[in-house]
Structure 1
Amino acid sequence: MTTSSSVTFSYDTGEFWDEMFEAPDRVRPHYAALAEALASLGPHDVERRQRAAELSFQARGVTFAVNQGPEGVDKVMPFDLIPRVITADEWRTIERGLEQRVRALNLFLHDIYHDARILNSGVIPPELVFGSRGYRREMRGLDVPLGVYTHIVGSDLVRDSSGEFYVLEDNLRTPSGVSYVVENRRVLKRVWSQLFHGSDVRPVEGYAQDLLDVLRSVAPERVDDPTVVLLTPGVYNSAYFEHSFLAKGMGVQMVEGSDLYVDDGCVYMRTIRGPQPVHVIYRRVDDDFLDPLAFRADSLLGVAGLFASYRMGRVTLANGIGAGVADDKAVYAYVPSIIKYYLSEEPILPTIRTYLPTDPSELRYILEHMRELVIKSVNESGGYGMLVGPHSTQAEREEFAARIQANPRSFIAQPTLALSRHP
């Protein structure tokens, strides 16, 4: 099958939107250079490059833990030899859409912890927000530095069968994964160096410095040269590689809770040269475990008195405590309304139709169409607490139906999507 005057592939695009092929015999223009390069390789060359990439990841310790804790197993990050190419025009739209979304969600967070205008106006049911596990009553009336709750946001994007991008979900608590993007690009440039010659590919290598600039910019008032640290739960956390990677890239100390303490409302880091004041904490520890005096008393990961220091404005936490309410899967259904309410704009990036069991009519629809829907627990992530209707058994559907009816606030439902595919 001819893709250009000199490249031939045997490839069936099937019924899906294909990222690389417009049709079985036609490569999308922005994939032309990749297609030419692939056509020049034999099976042995492909295998050799794949193996070189995997060895590079292994040598640099680019891993993630399958299970947390001492019994966890570290896996080398998977690598796809064929990169996904996004055009500059597509990326501009995605960038604008994500910026719009983050601005609106940040305004939403400030509002619900202050005047709650969006709740009082009936745009979002108050019980949906106050009943969210991510909502923190302790944050009411607290003014965070520069009004920023969402310093780092990880939004999951998918492309459907029509070629349109959707936001699948938002991650505003402790989003993870950017280190793998940077490392993936580094390896890609080694195994496919010719693809980068003459191509204006957006760089990602400067992410750590960009992150440091953001963190320093939100330091407490009257701090000219802030000390930034990265707070990690420890070596057994599934994202520990990323914690180490980002701390090294930013040139800051990676600390655990036992390395910090609070004295007279200020946070200090223990060092061999004595106490050092800390002004900004990029925390990769969940809200519940940040401070045993304010949240979970059994936490060994946090710092006693940290929340009091935060309330006094002596230290900045990124992301802000309580930001998780904005990535609640039930709140997700209202993000288009949130954007319209705060920005008076139409959403640039669409969200997926979401059914809420708290609405009697939508509950009825969910129960009648479970074979066709994806059911998600609002408090789970990473694919846990989910039922994929078309691949479920009758017993599984009956179990989920009972759970939904017993606790409708804890679930949402969405139609299945025919996602784009990639060679």
Structure 2
Amino acid sequence: MTKAAFDETFGYAPYAEADARAPYAAVARWLASSSDAHLETRRRQAELFFRRIGITFAVYGDPDAQERLIPFDIVPRVLSGAEWSRLEAGLVQRVEAINLFLADVYGPRECLKAGIVPEELVLLNPQYCLPQVGRRPAANVWVHVAGVDLVRTGPDEFHVLEDNARTPSGVSYMLENREVMLRLAPELIETMSAGGGLRPVETYPDMLLETLASVAPRGCPGEPCLALLTPGIHNSAYYEHSFLADKLGVELVEGSDLFVRSDILYMRTTEGPKRVDVLYRRVDDDFIDPLAFRPDSVLGVPGLVRAVHAGNLTIANALGTGIADDKAIYSYMPEIVRFFTGRDPILKNVPTWRCREQDSLSHVLDNLHELVVKEVDGSGGYGMLVGPHATKAEREDYAARIKAHPAKFIAQPTLALSTCPTMTAAGIAPRHVDLRPFVLTGAKGVSIAPGGLTRVALKEGSLVVNSSQGGGTKDTWVVDLPDEPEGC
């Protein structure tokens, strides 16, 4: 039986009977003084704002909703400065370990020799990038932009749900959500800032630009030229690609805008070819260079990998980082963190059963009605089973899939994800949330925008927060409270 969810505003008490926790005190007062009609007006204004500037998300496989708005909730999610300090320390530790792990599996493979991770799980993994073996990117940084998904299960209990080390998305929504709140709830933000201090997220583009420039290749002549590579307008995250290119002040390019000559990457401009030193790519490995990966790809650039290996180009994130996204690798992250940092993980994993192991497989098949089962290479909430919410027929069909290819699946307990007050058709009600902070790593170290993207499951009782599965987003506030002790 899943325990009762922790509500980040009122703890475990019913809404009508509890006082708000300190981080949410100002928000609770604001909600109490705002009528449902007022909040609904603000929600509609937010929707109009998003529609006018074109913030949409493509839903693959849904012919009736190819492009739609991601629902935005007007009630912010709040973390105190002390809560954030602990999360920040854990995120830095985890991303540093991921970078060291990637450097190792493409280099000396000490963690494989030590038995920390099974060799076959890495070397036979479809995401293991053979062209990267023996290679070292600039400053030995592999994951320049990481999105680490966190869930909360209690007052002081945070868990990492998964790591996103290839092309994590969602940061544009983090930035636009703050812009909307500044416009629609200035009085709440003013009150919150007066009570302590609302930490800004608006500096993220500058942080990202500095991070990318810091990892320019050694042979870069002068100030590095940066560009953002997009698959094009039909990609679900195209809005974000164009948004970030604009905020960074760099060119948004497609594969057809680029070419490689003498192992140097150039982009076509009205003034002639211009050298590119750092390419922030939002294209997966398989499609980025038809000479090294899929020969039928028209999204990438022939010769791109040669330019990287010649030391003339930095790709962010580096090729081969997808191995760290694998959910089977995720299950070994506590051991990976200890091996590479010499310390216990600050942030815990969710307990995980690997179906590739016979004992775990038997447990999962016997308890599908209680578990969440995921494909090891899945993303976006696709291909997963939430056992308690599935029908008997759905569980039986999924069990057949697991039995056919057990190594492709992991399972986890159904967690009681924390809830936050959310505007619904019936008024303010608790809905489950997760959090994706964005962690930047460059030659000068690690930096994190305070907060991140909070995703909210808008359906009552639903634990699936992904935008592709009908979830929405909230602005995430990190607030320094008066007299709050610093640190974890």
**TM-score, scaled to structure 1:** 0.94
Q: Is the 8 A contact 2:219 2:311 kept in 1?
A: no
RMSD between aligned alpha carbons?
A: 1.6
1:118 and 2:107 correspond: no
Q: Is the 8 A contact 1:94 1:349 kept in 2?
A: yes
1:395 Cα offset (Å): 2.6
Higher relative contact order (CA 8 A, sep 6+): 2
Give, in whole Å, the separation in 1 of the partners of 2:365 and 2:231. 40
1:205 and 2:202 correspond: yes
1:16 and 2:9 correspond: no
Structure that is richer in strand per residue: 2
Local SS of the residue matching 2:78:
coil
Residue of structure 2 in register with 1:9 after alignment: none
Give the alignment partner of residue 56 of structure 2, picking from 63, 71, 74.
63
Q: Is the 8 A contact 2:265 2:275 kept in 1?
A: yes
1:191 Cα offset (Å): 1.3
CA spacing shift, 1:121–1:366, aligned 2, 3 Å: same
Local SS of the residue matching 1:84:
strand
Give, in whole Å, the separation in 2 of the partners of 1:411 and 1:134. 15
Q: How many residues align?
A: 410
Residue of structure 2 in register with 1:344 after alignment: 342
Residue of structure 2 in register with 1:86 after alignment: 79
Residue of structure 2 in register with 1:133 after alignment: 126
Local SS of the residue matching 2:283:
coil
1:317 Cα offset (Å): 0.2
Local SS of the residue matching 2:394:
helix
Local SS of the residue matching 2:327:
coil
Counterpart amino acid of residue 417 in structure 1 = L
Local SS of the residue matching 1:86:
strand
Stretch of structure 1 that moved more, 402-411 or 300-309: 402-411
Counterpart amino acid of residue 345 in structure 1 = R
The percentage of aligned residue pairs carrying the same residue is 50
Counterpart amino acid of residue 50 in structure 1 = R
1:95 Cα offset (Å): 0.6
* Structure 1 segment 89-104 matched on structure 2, within 5 A: 89-104=82-97
Q: Is the 8 A contact 2:387 2:395 kept in 1?
A: yes
Q: Is the 8 A contact 1:163 1:420 kept in 2?
A: no
Residue of structure 1 in register with 2:420 after alignment: 422
Give, in whole Å, the separation in 1 of the partners of 2:24 and 2:131. 51
Stretch of structure 1 that moved more, 359-368 or 275-284: 359-368
CA spacing shift, 1:68–1:273, aligned 2, 3 Å: farther
Give, in whole Å, the separation in 1 of the partners of 2:396 and 2:73. 38
Residue of structure 2 in register with 1:4 after alignment: none
Give the alignment partner of residue 35 of structure 2, picking from 34, 38, 42.
42
1:330 Cα offset (Å): 0.3
* Structure 1 segment 333-412 matched on structure 2, within 5 A: 333-412=331-410
Stretch of structure 1 that moved more, 341-350 or 399-408: 399-408
* Structure 1 segment 195-344 matched on structure 2, within 5 A: 195-197=188-190, 198=194, 199-223=196-220, 224-344=222-342
1:391 Cα offset (Å): 1.8
**TM-score, scaled to structure 2:** 0.82
Deviations 1:207-258, CA, capped at 9 Å, x for gaps? 1111111110000003231100000000011001100110000000000000
Q: Is the 8 A contact 1:283 1:318 kept in 2?
A: yes
Q: What stretches of structure 2 of length at least 5 have no aligned partner?
A: 422-488
1:77 Cα offset (Å): 2.6
Q: What stretches of structure 1 of length at least 5 have no aligned partner?
A: 1-13
Stretch of structure 1 that moved more, 51-60 or 114-123: 51-60
Counterpart amino acid of residue 208 in structure 1 = P
Give, in whole Å, the separation in 2 of the partners of 1:47 and 1:113. 52
Counterpart amino acid of residue 95 in structure 1 = E
1:409 Cα offset (Å): 1.6
Q: Is the 8 A contact 2:104 2:111 kept in 1?
A: yes
Q: Is the 8 A contact 1:72 1:236 kept in 2?
A: no
Counterpart amino acid of residue 81 in structure 1 = I
